[in-house]
Chain A
Amino acid sequence: ETGVTQTPRHLVMGMTNKKSLKCEQHLGHNAMYWYKQSAKKPLELMFVYSLEERVENNSVPSRFSPECPNSSHLFLHLHTLQPEDSALYLCASSQGAGVNYGYTFGSGTRLTVV
């Protein structure tokens, strides 16, 4: 385990379902991120939270809704997804500005939209 835990590991959902992905870290980090990793595509940064405030939203469709209730938890709420949203969703965390260690990643949630 890396210190960043993502649940569930695998999720299959229909296009009309509502589900949520969960990310949890107890590393004392104060920034958290959602990335989307699709086959044969670069890692796509979706959302950035710093000190529990969203500081970046990279033109992500509204069917993806993030939530950061505290510095240890990050959620990605999903609704009315499309098959092209099937991907590996990675959560990461990092310390504040000035830290040199990059990100700590979770193992990801493999999402399949049917």
Chain B
Amino acid sequence: AQSVAQPEDQVNVAEGNPLTVKCTYSVSGNPYLFWYVQYPNRGLQFLLKYITGDNLVKGSYGFEAEFNKSQTSFHLKKPSALVSDSALYFCAVRLLKAAGNKLTFGGGTRVLVKP
């Protein structure tokens, strides 16, 4: 069975400092990996994805993530955090041939960026 873990419930960072949100996954095949962000009372918004190719993927709002196959990780990063980045972040994994395109989500990490 596929699974994804976000070990931190919350990450606090000062504005302007680097932001990292951790994600590890467990799948038996080749994964598709995603990051989503959720602002209060909103649905999830797509940030970026890894399918194949370059291990460093760049996404929306200055975010990037690095796929590390040996560590089965896909950590989300931003070099300089903004107060407006405060939100709930979800990592997700999908197998290449998952029935119904099923995405499995992590538990979410709340990011708080302080001025």
A residues near B (Cβ < 8 Å) are 2, 4, 6, 31, 41-43, 45, 48-50, 55-56, 88, 90, 92, 94-97, 99-108, 110
Contact = CB atoms under 8 A, between A and B. Distances in A.
A90 B44 contact: yes
Contact of B103 (A41, A103, A106): A103
A62 to B, nearest CB: 21
B46 A101 contact: yes
B100 A108 contact: no
Nearest to B106: A42
A107 B49 CA distance: 21
Interface string B98-115: 011111111110000000
B43 A50 contact: no
Given A43-B90, A105-B44, 20 more contacts: A2-B43, A31-B100, A41-B107, A43-B105, A45-B102, A55-B99, A95-B101, A96-B101, A100-B51, A102-B36, A104-B46, A105-B36, A105-B43, A105-B45, A106-B43, A107-B41, A107-B42, A108-B41, A108-B43, A110-B41
A2 B37 CA distance: 13
B61 to A, nearest CB: 15
